[in-house]
Structure 1
Amino acid sequence: MLAVLLVVLPVASLIAVGFFARLANLVSDRAGEGISDFVYALAVPCLIFRTLAKAQIPAVQPWGYWISYFAGVAVVWVLATVAARQLYRVNSAEGVVAGFSAGQANTVLVGIPLILKAYGEEGAVPLFLLIAIHLPIMMTVATLLVEGRGASPVTILRRLVTHPIVVAVLAGSASRLLPTGVPDLAWLIIEPIAGAAVPCALVAMGMALRRYGLGSGFGLPAVITVLKLVVHPLVVYLLATQAFSMPRAWAGVAVLFASAPSGINAYLFAERYRSGVGIASSAIGLSTVLSLFTTVFWLAVLGVGVN
């Protein structure tokens, strides 16, 4: 329990820094929006590029592993979107944010340390394999859902190929073809920007929590939290252990990855489109706090301890 608390605590602490900094008027709402723009347009793309450029991709793809995880994403994304649109009457962009919040996991601050503590080196390969494609796929799908409404195919294509996230995915994938790899000088620029993504994003989200509070109400963030912390890992668990055959560690990694709270990128996406920010920030804050308890449950289900 203490080990899980120590994993979640830094996330909550950085969010609290942003919240109280804004509460004390040390920073303005405009500053928070500027930080969010920096993270979305520069820091996260650098993080994606670094992940894809350095990822070890196996020659034979573990399709059961991919299907188990992303089928869970699809289920909670659809359920969250339908609930948001039908029960809470949000607009289409806010519905995308709700679905994204239910499917996007906080991998960097919660998923990585928790999974490596639970499975050690045995879990490293499936973990970083999933990380390499998780964010690019989620961001690209969410962008298509928002950008694709009412736009011509040419406009959609133009927006996608100039979108910072998509550019990062394409550049990171292309960099793997370089015979000598990415030059060291380029890493001197990319690494510090990528390293700023997570702390800056969490502080900015704390500022957004102060600005929006539970402006979207408690109901929808609570629905998203249940979908993220309970339904998503449950679907993945059933598929990974009952429908497909894979090593025990791989199934466990997929479940714990799915059980992580809503990721900061849902908030960044909402800020990018200035829609559903209250939904995303509230869902992230609530799911982060409650994940302390649900993570202990999923560790018990998987029969592993955090060393």
Structure 2
Amino acid sequence: MNLDHPVLSSLLPVVLLIFIGFISGRAKLVRPEAVRDLSNLVFLVLTQAMLFRTMSSVHLELLELRPVFQYFAVAAALFFAMLMVYGRDSRASVLALAGIFSNTLMIGVPLIGLAYGQEGLVLLFTLISLHALVLLTMATLVLELQMAHEQAAQSGEQRHMLATVLQAMRSAIFHPVPLPILAGLLYAQTGWGLHPVVDKPLQLLGSAFGPVALVLVGITLSQTAIGVRLKEALRLSLVKTVVHPLLMAGVGWALGMRGLHLSVMVVVAALPIGANVFLFSQRYRKEEDTVTAGVAVSTAMALVSVSLVMAVLPLLPTV
């Protein structure tokens, strides 16, 4: 086995981090009641630092946006299709997000860098700069709208649709994910940059996000009845690592995307479920076990799906 292969060298560290968390959970080094506190630490501290720092250097006028917009159009279409399939309720939003949200940082960056070089990374970083902003904000808005509707139905309160939408929008904006993204994006437009005294702590906190989140996935996995959730996790993983890249390749090709742009977008679509979805499910306490199992199963499946995608893409005609 060639451990220097881009797919293996990118995915195996993720598998190892989840495994370390699993062993830690089995050994009861982290108590079950502490998992929620660790999740809050990652979601409310590490994620905030990573998102704000990432967005604080983004200048939209310099980004190559056409392939990225096509990526988000495909992701949004798949999200709403999954929403219909899963029942259009708040739990469906979490499962639909799992079908479209890729692990772009921990796996995507090293994989694209090794496979496609600096030019590929520039395109990937353009996608990453908007990935959480677009997908997490979309999912948050839809989920908040669904939760507001469900709460109104339970209480018997007849709330005007506009009031429900405004409440959902307010909850979606003043939320731990969109807020640092929007704040970072606004700060970036000032051109001031981040002073090293501020930038270094944010960098250290952001760097800790991926490893700690994946270890936390492993800890949660050790406390989850995988057998009960395996069928659902397999279904989610198939959507994420097979349906998503096939749809991306088909739509991208039909819209004239070729070469490096098509390769990077399809490979990113084939990546496993990102840890942000796990934290999203923890935050809302929706489908936590299914998403946890889905992260692990999709990571294993991506060893095959990403390898196949990278083998087939060069065979496609360039015209």
Tell me how far apart the structure 2 counterparts of residues 269 and 275 of structure 1 sit (CA, whole Å): 8
**Equivalent pair of 2:39/2:216 in contact (CA under 8 Å):** yes
Quick one: which of 262, 286, 291 aligns to 1:280?
A: 291
Give 1:227's aligned amino acid.
V
Q: Kindly tell me: are residues 121 and 61 of structure 1, through their superposed partners in 2, closer, same or farther at Cα, counting changes over 3 Å?
A: closer
- Residue in 2 that maps onto 1:73: 75
Q: Does residue 1:217 correspond to 2:229, yes or no?
A: yes
Quick one: which of 281, 290, 301 aligns to 2:301?
A: 290
Q: Which runs of 5+ in 2 are unaligned?
A: 150-163
- Residue in 2 that maps onto 1:62: 65
Aligned length: 297
Give 2:38's aligned amino acid.
I
Tell me how far apart the structure 1 counterparts of residues 13 and 225 of structure 2 sit (CA, whole Å): 21
Q: What's the CA shift string for 1:55-105, capped at 9, x where partnerless?
A: 354447533x134312331243234333433xxxxx822211110110000
Quick one: which of 5, 10, 13 aligns to 1:7?
A: 10
Pairwise CA RMSD of aligned residues? 2.0
Quick one: which of 83, 86, 93 aligns to 1:84?
A: 86
Tell me how far apart the structure 2 counterparts of residues 56 and 154 of structure 1 sit (CA, whole Å): 29
**Equivalent pair of 2:68/2:126 in contact (CA under 8 Å):** no
Task: State the identity %.
Answer: 28
- Residue in 1 that maps onto 2:30: 27
Q: What's the CA shift string for 1:173-206, capped at 9, x where partnerless?
A: 1111224222222213311211111111111111
- Residue in 2 that maps onto 1:88: none
Quick one: which of 48, 52, 56 aligns to 1:49?
A: 52
Q: Kindly tell me: are residues 123 and 222 of structure 1, through their superposed partners in 2, closer, same or farther at Cα, counting changes over 3 Å?
A: same
Tell me how far apart the structure 2 counterparts of residues 121 and 83 of structure 1 sit (CA, whole Å): 39
**Equivalent pair of 1:221/1:286 in contact (CA under 8 Å):** yes
Deviation at 1:33, TM superposition (A): 1.5
Q: Kindly tell me: are residues 155 and 62 of structure 1, through their superposed partners in 2, closer, same or farther at Cα, counting changes over 3 Å?
A: closer
SS of match in other structure, 1:103? coil
Matched ranges for 1:57-136 at <5 A: 57-59=60-62, 61-63=64-66, 65-85=67-87, 92-136=89-133
Q: Which runs of 5+ in 1 are unaligned?
A: 86-90
**Equivalent pair of 1:233/1:256 in contact (CA under 8 Å):** yes
Q: Kindly tell me: are residues 127 and 60 of structure 1, through their superposed partners in 2, closer, same or farther at Cα, counting changes over 3 Å?
A: closer
- Residue in 2 that maps onto 1:37: 40
**Equivalent pair of 1:72/1:236 in contact (CA under 8 Å):** yes
Q: What's the CA shift string for 1:2-51, capped at 9, x where partnerless?
A: 32222111111111111111111111112222111111112112111111
- Residue in 2 that maps onto 1:165: 177
Tell me how far apart the structure 1 counterparts of residues 93 and 230 of structure 2 sit (CA, whole Å): 18
Tell me how far apart the structure 2 counterparts of residues 272 and 113 of structure 1 sit (CA, whole Å): 28
Deviation at 1:154, TM superposition (A): 4.4
Tell me how far apart the structure 1 counterparts of residues 104 and 63 of structure 2 sit (CA, whole Å): 24
**Equivalent pair of 1:55/1:128 in contact (CA under 8 Å):** no
Tell me how far apart the structure 2 counterparts of residues 60 and 218 of structure 1 sit (CA, whole Å): 40
TM-score by length of 2: 0.87
163-172 vs 99-108, greater mean Cα deviation:
163-172
Give 1:244's aligned amino acid.
G
**Equivalent pair of 2:58/2:188 in contact (CA under 8 Å):** no
Quick one: which of 227, 234, 237 aligns to 2:246?
A: 234
Q: Kindly tell me: are residues 32 and 240 of structure 1, through their superposed partners in 2, closer, same or farther at Cα, counting changes over 3 Å?
A: same
**Equivalent pair of 2:59/2:188 in contact (CA under 8 Å):** no
TM-score by length of 1: 0.90
**Equivalent pair of 2:65/2:126 in contact (CA under 8 Å):** no
Give 1:141's aligned amino acid.
M
128-137 vs 217-226, greater mean Cα deviation:
217-226
Quick one: which of 130, 134, 137 aligns to 2:134?
A: 137
